[in-house]
Amino acid sequence: MYKKLVDLIDKTKSPITKADFINAYKELGIKSDSCLEVHSSVSSLGYIINKEYDICDSLLETVTDGVVIMMAHNGEFSDPSEWINPPVPKEWHQLINDKRRIFDKDLFIPERVGKVAQLFCKYKSVTKTNHPITAMSVLNSTKDKNWLNHDLDERKMVNPLFKLMENEGKILFIGTDFTSCTSIHLTEHLSPYSKIKEFPYKRLNETGVVEDVVVITKYIDDEFDNFKLIEDRYVEKYKGTEFLKVKKLGLGKLTLIEAKKLFEIAKDVHLHYHK
Q: What is the pLDDT of residues 94-112, one digit of tens each?
A: 998 888 899 999 999 998 8
Position 225 scores a pLDDT of 66
Residue type for 56, please? C
β pairing state of 35-40 and 170-174: parallel
Task: Judge whether 196 lies within some domain.
Answer: no
Task: Judge whether 240 lies within some domain.
Answer: yes
pLDDT band for position 1 (cuts 50, 70, 90): low
More confident call, 33 vs 227: 33
More confident call, 128 vs 82: 128
User: Residue 32: pLDDT above 50?
Assistant: yes
Task: Judge whether 211 lies within some domain.
Answer: no
Nearest to 138 by CA among 25, 256, 31, 37: 37
Nearest to 271 by CA among 263, 179, 155, 198: 263
Task: Judge whether 200 lies within some domain.
Answer: no
Indicate the pTM of the whole model: 0.93
Position 275 scores a pLDDT of 52
Per-residue pLDDT of 239-248, as tens digits, reads 999 999 999 9
Give the total number of structural domains in the chain: 1
What contacts 233, CB < 8 A, 6 or more positions away? Answer: 265, 269
Per-residue pLDDT of 150-165, as tens digits, reads 999 988 999 999 999 9
Long-range contacts of 149-153 (CB under 8 A, 24+ apart): 152/213, 152/214, 152/215, 152/216, 153/215, 153/216
Position 211 scores a pLDDT of 96
Position 29 scores a pLDDT of 97
Position 223 scores a pLDDT of 45
| Minimum mean pLDDT range among 170-184, 189-203, 215-229, 259-273 | 215-229
What contacts 105, CB < 8 A, 6 or more positions away? Answer: 72, 128, 129, 130, 131, 135, 203, 204
Average pLDDT over residues 200-220: 90
- The answer to whether the beta carbons of residues 246 and 255 sit under 8 Å apart is yes
Domain range enclosing 258: 2-183+223-266
Task: Judge whether 108 lies within some domain.
Answer: yes
Position 191 scores a pLDDT of 83
Task: Judge whether 191 lies within some domain.
Answer: no
Order the strands of the 136-140 sheet from edge to edge: 126-128, 136-140, 67-71, 35-40, 170-174, 252-258, 244-249
Largest pairwise CA distance in the chain: 54
What contacts 28, CB < 8 A, 6 or more positions away? Answer: 172, 245, 247, 254, 256
User: Residue 92: pLDDT above 70?
Assistant: yes
Nearest to 260 by CA among 158, 171, 154, 151: 171
- The answer to whether the beta carbons of residues 268 and 275 sit under 8 Å apart is no
Task: Judge whether 162 lies within some domain.
Answer: yes
Position 193 scores a pLDDT of 81
